[in-house]
Amino acid sequence: MHRVLVPLDGSSFSETALLLAGEIAERTGRNLELVTVKPSVERRDAPPDTSATIESAQGVGARLYLDRQALALHRRFEVGVHSAVLDGPVPSAIAEHVHHEPPDLIVMSTHGRSGPARLFSGSVADRLLRELHCPFILVRPGSALAAGRLSAQPRILVALDGSPLAESVVEEVSRFFPREEATLHLLRVIAPAEIFPVGAPTAEAYLESTASKLRELGWEVEHEAVIGWHPSVEVLRSAVVHRCDLVAMATRGLGGVQRMFLGSVADKVIRCAATPVFVVNPADDASSRVPGERLAAASARQPFEAGAGLSTALR
């Protein structure tokens, strides 16, 4: 079943993703699936029959909640809506559900936590993104499209770093945003230390080659190479300047100590973007058939941001 999955936790915060998910499902002829995880019951001082009663009531409450959301979506969008109540720890229950029956896309709300807040409370979206290889659209409450409608001809910023893994996001974007309707804005960030002797010309040549391949396939494409020490800042800036409706990028699922020391451009963009972020953690052998030939010099770079090289800038 072709479907868009939306995880919910009963809060208005998580429901931020519903309108965008419904619109994408309607435009692409997919169904929606709403899932929530039933709270676990661990009351050692309560008799077994009492725990069973509480658990049953929570299950009924979760089902009624999903039914209300499904009814509201039916009234607004011409889509099929299915739902499921899951059991277990939230990230593990959703991940297991996705592994058992992979969706085409996961649309969910995320928040702007970082540092100690992330370490202590964690983030369901963050963990799922690191574990799963299906595409996500992450929506921050208050961001553009959280309560509005997607443009009929969306502008999509595609952040590239010269690697096949980064380019693989183009393939995923094309599954949900037809080339006849969308404009791609390709962005390549160059560290100041890489400008000489051939950094900028090489990046421009790489982008022009990639854009040409995409135009041959019918896409409307713009591109720019910018100079900056911090790719995340340049991605966010470019998305605002060029009025993009969506930022698309690949990420490698770094976590723990690796995240703390290397940083994550995708993570920073997700936490700060004024638009939803289309992001995928590609499998190791992922690539895009679209861009074609690459320039080797464009993908072999030295570290420049918090220990991360340009070839790992989108990780």
304 in the same domain as 159 = yes
What pLDDT, on the 0 to 100 scale, is given for residue 116?
Answer: 46
Closest C-alpha to 139, from 271, 243, 238, 2: 271
Closest C-alpha to 17, from 276, 208, 203, 290: 276
Q: Which two tokens stand for residue 176?
A: 């949900």
240 in the same domain as 92 = no
282 in the same domain as 184 = yes
Q: How many domains does the chain have?
A: 2
308 in the same domain as 164 = yes
- Strand residue runs (E) in the chain: 3-8, 31-38, 81-87, 105-109, 136-139, 155-160, 183-190, 220-227, 246-250, 277-280, 303-305, 308-309
In sequence order, which residues have a C-beta less than 8 Å from that of residue 132 and are 6 or more positions away?
95, 98, 99, 106, 281
**Are the CB atoms for 145 and 20 separated by under 8 Å?**
yes
Tens of pLDDT, residues 178-219:
999 999 999 999 888 766 655 567 888 899 999 999 999 999
Dihedral of the alpha carbons of 289, 202, 173, 241, in degrees to the nearest 10: -170
195 in the same domain as 59 = no
In a domain, 275, yes or no: yes
What pLDDT, on the 0 to 100 scale, is given for residue 161?
Answer: 85
CATH number at residue 199: 3.40.50.620
In a domain, 139, yes or no: no
d(CA 208, CA 155): 18
207 in the same domain as 298 = yes
Q: What share of the chain is helix, strand, coil (3-state, %, to 5)?
A: 45, 20, 35
In a domain, 148, yes or no: no
Domain boundary residue, one of 86, 109, 132: 109
d(CA 99, CA 109): 20
- Percent share of the chain, pLDDT over 70: 72
pTM of the model: 0.82
> Which helix (H) or strand (E) segment is 40 a member of?
none
183 in the same domain as 101 = no
What single-letter amino acid sits at 188?
R
174 in the same domain as 99 = no
What pLDDT, on the 0 to 100 scale, is given for residue 303?
Answer: 32
Domain boundary residue, one of 109, 144, 178: 109
What pLDDT, on the 0 to 100 scale, is given for residue 192?
Answer: 80
Sheet with 31-38, side-by-side order of all strands: 81-87, 31-38, 3-8, 105-109, 136-139, 277-280, 246-250, 155-160, 183-190, 220-227
Report, as ranges of residue numbers, the positions in the chain whose pLDDT lies below 70. Answer: 1, 40-56, 111-122, 143-148, 194-200, 253-263, 284-315
Four-residue CA torsion sign, 286, 189, 183, 21: positive
Q: Which residues of 105-114 are buried (b: 16+ CB within 10 A; e: fewer)?
A: bbbbbbbeee
**Are the CB atoms for 105 and 57 separated by under 8 Å?**
no
**Are the CB atoms for 250 and 169 separated by under 8 Å?**
yes
What pLDDT, on the 0 to 100 scale, is given for residue 306?
Answer: 30
Domain range for 87 is: 3-109
In a domain, 43, yes or no: yes
102 in the same domain as 204 = no
What single-letter amino acid sits at 109?
S
What pLDDT, on the 0 to 100 scale, is given for residue 286?
Answer: 59
Strand bridging mode 220-227 / 308-309: unpaired
